Chain A
Amino acid sequence: MLTVENLQLRLNGKLVIDDLSLQVNNGEILGVLGENGTGKTTIAYLIMGVNGYKPTGGRVIFEGEDIADLSVSQRAKKGISLAWQEPARIEGLRVRDYLKLSGNNFGVEQIKQCLLMVGMEPSQYLDRDVDNTLSGGERKRIELASILAMRPKLAILDEPDSGIDIVSLPLILNGIVELNRQGSSVLLITHNEKVMEIVHRVSLLCAGKILITGAPAEISRWFKNNCRTCHHINVPADEDKQL
């Protein structure tokens, strides 16, 4: 479904993404695991086409088409969407209207269902604004609910677990599994090994490069044993690339 080939991004002369390749297959949840500052969010922005994140090398191919020149909305119309790590607050836009934007012509009952799937009581949230009266965790959950309402072909979820309390985390993970079950492929970006339990494969990111890709348990173990104690997060040693 999505193939990223030899992607490169230089920002202000610094190599942020370095010859990165990955593939998301139809119907799978691919995890991208990495410590802070390794380039996880940048990958999300490059695939989504966010302003200021135009690749300086490589290709992003979605369903066989190079999408490098497409805008964010053109990519969304092709079936890619992004749940932002820190979603924007929009004054005066009600939760119910935000969830209806996705174009699936969902009625209120379906919108309510999307909220319930991320552990939010619809009666408390439908008529609230998607603004700064919401906590960070609430806003994140609404972001995921809007992806559930959109049901894109490919959902990029940028740290959907960050800011989520421990009680709600299983609900969020269930929501992602349900999204996948309903037909969306998922690129799931995180630094939390716990989240890796729901993915099919994991790519480990270090200094803007994919070091290895493999089964979740295997990569999680490697991540715990190596990345957590690594003193050169942004400058990996060559031997670190070996399992």
Chain B
Amino acid sequence: MINYLVEKEYQGLVDAYEKVGGDRSALLNNDIASLIVHENKILSATEIEGVKLTGESQEHGIMAGLLIEEGCKVSRPVHLCFGILPQEGLQEIGLRVDVRKGAEVKVIAHCIFPNAVHITHKMDAVINIEDNASFSYKETHYHGESGGIEVIPKARVTLGEKALYENTFSLIEGCVGKLDFDFEIFSAARSVAEMILKVCGKKDDVIKIAERVNLNGDGARSLIKTRVVLRDRARAEIIGETYGNAPYARGHVDCIELVNGEEAIARAIPIVSVTNDKAKVTHEAAIGSIDRRQVETLMARGLDENEAVDVIVRGILR
């Protein structure tokens, strides 16, 4: 009976994963590392050479570990899938990522809550990318249309010398619900960090995003790029912080919030600071309605106004 239930959950989650753009075959392929978690159950875990996946079930979630061994260049992306299929639930993910010296890996993660009415999903991640290592992480969420979900991803990322960290977080399908995103990065010399967030809020969604980069090593570089579109009564507050603490550190904060609803509220707070006279940090933020010239440019090609707005919004979130 237990096995039957697990199989049913597995199929349900994989089906949902595929519906939101995931590659089902990747989860079934033993040559691709993957981890599938439903509520607090690890439904499937596939390791490959050089990639160690660990998982331990907890009362309301799991503790997971991803280790990429020194010098290992993982040729195909690691796939992670977290989700809850019922309407209610709590999922707490503790994630420890270690990318050893000179290793390279890409991770594609899907967080799926298609029927959420009263769900909380928390992730606490500690990510350690050692010298000359590369870690690219792309996370896509799907929350269904009710908006009855609270998502709280938090991470502390440490970059070694010449390490590369790329993080793309995308929540553009369905309703956001409540999002409380909080990431902080500590960068060593000549490392590169790039964080891209794309979120589309609608109805009564509440979006809070805090991103901090501490450029602590010589020549460390970073980009925080945030794109948020708000419709209906959705609200967003985005705080992008970058601190240039070392010679030749270079950081840029780039935030665009498009407001496409009379009751939507957008707020952006870029904070840039340097404590070294050879560091340079810049920011740009644009908040407001969709640019009329852009709309008319597309209308002049025959699109209706609503179609033109859709093209612009899709572009911002692409």
Contacts and interface: CB of A to CB of B under 8 A. Distances in A.
Interface of A: 48, 50-51, 71-73, 76-77, 81-82, 84, 87-93, 101-103, 129, 146, 150
A91 B311 contact: no
B315 interface: yes
Contacts of B305: 71, 73
B299 interface: yes
Q: Closest 8 CB pairs between A and B?
A: A92-B315, A92-B318, A73-B299, A72-B299, A76-B302, A93-B315, A88-B297, A88-B294
A90 B291 CA distance: 10
Contacts of A101: 298, 301-303, 311
Contact of A72 (B300, B314, B315): B300
B125 to A, nearest CB: 28
A18 B305 CA distance: 30
A90 B304 CA distance: 17
B296 interface: yes
A90 B308 CA distance: 11
Contacts of A103: 301-302
Q: Contact residue range for chain B?
A: 20 to 34
Contacts of B316: 91-92
B317 interface: yes
A90 B292 CA distance: 12
B312 interface: yes
A19 B311 CA distance: 38
Given A73-B302, A87-B297, 19 more contacts: A48-B296, A48-B300, A51-B296, A71-B299, A72-B300, A76-B300, A81-B301, A81-B302, A84-B300, A90-B294, A90-B298, A91-B315, A91-B316, A92-B314, A92-B315, A93-B312, A93-B315, A102-B301, A150-B302
Interface of B: 227, 256, 291-294, 296-305, 308, 311-312, 314-318
Contacts of A150: 301-302
Contacts of A90: 294, 297-298, 311-312, 315
A80 B297 CA distance: 13
17 contacts: A48-B300, A50-B296, A71-B299, A76-B299, A84-B300, A88-B296, A90-B294, A90-B311, A90-B312, A90-B315, A92-B314, A92-B316, A101-B302, A101-B311, A102-B302, A129-B315, A150-B302
B296 A93 contact: no
A109 to B, nearest CB: 20
A232 B294 CA distance: 34
A90 B293 CA distance: 10
A51 B300 CA distance: 12
Contact of A77 (B227, B292, B293, B302): B302
A51 B292 contact: yes
Q: Which of B303, B316, B317 has the most CB of A within 10 A?
A: B303
Contacts of B312: 90, 93
A129 B315 CA distance: 9
Q: Which of B256, B291, B298 has the most CB of A within 10 A?
A: B298
A172 B297 CA distance: 20
Contacts of A87: 297
Contacts of A146: 301
Nearest to A76: B302
Contacts of A129: 315
A76 B301 contact: yes
Contacts of B227: 91
A174 to B, nearest CB: 22
A102 B302 CA distance: 6
Contacts of B301: 76, 81, 101-103, 146, 150
B259 to A, nearest CB: 16
Nearest to A101: B301
